[in-house]
């Protein structure tokens, strides 16, 4: 039985990856310190003999006993609400955490896949974004702690690959959605759906002309799975290339939810990307991958998930307190 360590296991994507690799017959070790993750995302695995949870902060030394075949590094705050509130921890998990996991991969002879992001492209001047685009990032802006953590993460990963010969994979993840997203994490899909369920007007920042491309979580997991098992060591975009403006997307959500709220407009946040669309030519060529779930189908599944939340979860406006988790 192959053994895989998945960091950020209690997060949105991490928990779905745990499910997939258990389904594929792996022994899964899930690691998280719950700084942004939630135990309920992996509680269904508590009695699974092929799953073991490790409560640990990856920025601290990782003492893993026994053999290890693969590592997926998905530990990181991933929404603006999180990384604006815990900027130093965001930088540390992308730098120290990645360094620790690359060292572990080297010691164990394991292949490691690191979760990068479309945010390494910043507010892009090239559209759609291809893997050979270097990006347009404000290093000292409010989003810079996340963008630069991920850019450094890619650099140190490639250094370990070229200098130490570690088998590495890099996935650049574009906007992904589905069940287990946090309702109040600040990203547009849970924000719109939460507002609709609470009977609030939908808030669009700027004039709504900025675009996003949304990939359903099952498609994203399939792309990551194929990339891990491929022979390709350079970054690969995994996302859905079907682009939509935020203004039009708000109208889609209103129709989906059957609500009567209107759309209201507020100032655009600093350095918020105006365009976000992956070029997935490379993923098609190298992995034979492209998304299968259309937006209407994926959004209905996601909305049904949010409707199933308790009233307390639905009206919880503040993210949990990070006190006790943060070490600067």
Tokens of 86: 């815990």
By CB atoms closer than 10 A (0-12, 13-18, 19+), residue 54 is middle
Q: How many helices (H) and strands (E) does the chain have?
A: 11, 13
CB 144 within 8 A of CB 137: yes
Residue of 70, 146, 216, 225 with catalytic role: 146
Closest CA to 273 of 181, 136, 172: 136
CA within 13 Å, CB half, 153? 34
CA within 13 Å, CB half, 205? 14
CB 7 within 8 A of CB 75: yes
Residue 146 annotated as catalytic: yes
Tokens of 100: 């620790």
Strands (DSSP E) contained in 44-87 are: 51-55, 70-73
The helix, strand and coil proportions of the chain, stated in percent and rounded to the nearest 5, come to: 40, 20, 40
CA angle (199, 274, 146) in 5-degree steps: 90
Q: How far apart are CA 223 and CA 291, in angstroms?
A: 8
Q: Which residues are catalytic?
A: 146
């Amino acid at each position: 039985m192959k053994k895989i360590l998945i960091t950020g296991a209690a997060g949105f994507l991490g928990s779905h990856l745990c499910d997939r690799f258990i389904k594929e017959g792996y022994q899964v070790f899930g690691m998280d310190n719950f700084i942004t993750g939630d135990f309920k995302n992996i509680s269904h695995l508590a009695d699974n003999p092929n799953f073991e949870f490790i409560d640990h902060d990856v920025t601290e030394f990782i003492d893993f006993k026994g053999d290890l075949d693969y590592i997926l590094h998905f530990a990181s705050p991933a929404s603006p609400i999180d990384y604006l509130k815990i900027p130093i921890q965001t930088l540390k998990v992308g730098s120290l955490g990645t360094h620790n996991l690359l060292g572990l991969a080297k010691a164990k002879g394991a292949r490691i896949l690191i979760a990068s992001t479309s945010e390494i492209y910043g507010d892009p001047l090239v559209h759609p974004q291809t893997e050979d685009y270097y990006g347009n990032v404000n290093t000292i802006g409010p989003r810079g702690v996340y963008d630069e953590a991920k850019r450094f993460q890619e650099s140190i990963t490639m250094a370990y690959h070229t200098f130490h010969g570690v088998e590495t994979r890099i996935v650049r993840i574009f906007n992904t959605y589905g069940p287990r997203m946090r309702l109040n994490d600040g990203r547009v899909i849970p924000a719109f759906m939460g507002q609709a369920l609470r009977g609030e007007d939908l808030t669009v920042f700027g004039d709504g002309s900025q675009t996003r491309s949304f990939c359903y979580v099952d498609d994203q997991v399939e792309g990551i799975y194929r990339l891990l098992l491929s022979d390709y060591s350079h970054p690969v975009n995994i996302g859905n290339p079907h682009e939509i403006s935020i203004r039009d997307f708000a109208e889609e959500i209103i129709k989906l939810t059957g609500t009567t709220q209107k759309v209201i407009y507020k100032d655009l946040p600093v350095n918020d990307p105006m365009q976000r669309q992956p070029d997935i030519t490379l993923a098609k060529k190298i992995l034979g991958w492209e998304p299968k779930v259309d937006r209407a189908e994926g959004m209905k599944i996601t909305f049904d998930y949010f409707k199933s939340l308790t009233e307390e979860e639905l009206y919880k406006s503040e993210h949990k307190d990070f006190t006790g988790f943060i070490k600067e």
